[in-house]
Amino acid sequence: MLNGDTIKLLRECDAGTKMAVYSMDEICDKISDTDFKNVVTASRQKHERLGNEIHTQLEKCDDSAKEPNVFAKGMSWLKTNAKLAVEESDAVCADLLTEGCNMGVKSLCRYYNQYAAADEQAQGFCKELIHLEENLAKEIRSYL
What pLDDT does residue 65 have? 66
What pTM, to 2 d.p., does this model score?
0.90
pLDDT in tens, 15-65: 999 999 999 999 999 999 999 999 999 999 999 999 999 999 998 887 766
Q: Is 70 exceeded by the pLDDT of residue 89?
A: yes
What is the C-alpha to C-alpha distance for residues 129 and 136, in angstroms, rounded to an integer?
11
Cα Rg of the chain, angstroms: 15
Would you say 55 and 65 are in contact if contact means Cβ atoms under 8 Å apart?
Answer: yes
What is the C-alpha to C-alpha distance for residues 105 and 50, in angstroms, rounded to an integer?
15
For residue 47, give the 3-state DSSP assignment: helix
Would you say 73 and 19 are in contact if contact means Cβ atoms under 8 Å apart?
Answer: yes
Question: How confident is residue 85, by pLDDT bands cut at 50, 70 and 90?
Answer: confident
Give me the count of residues in the chain.
Answer: 144
Residue-averaged pLDDT of the chain? 92
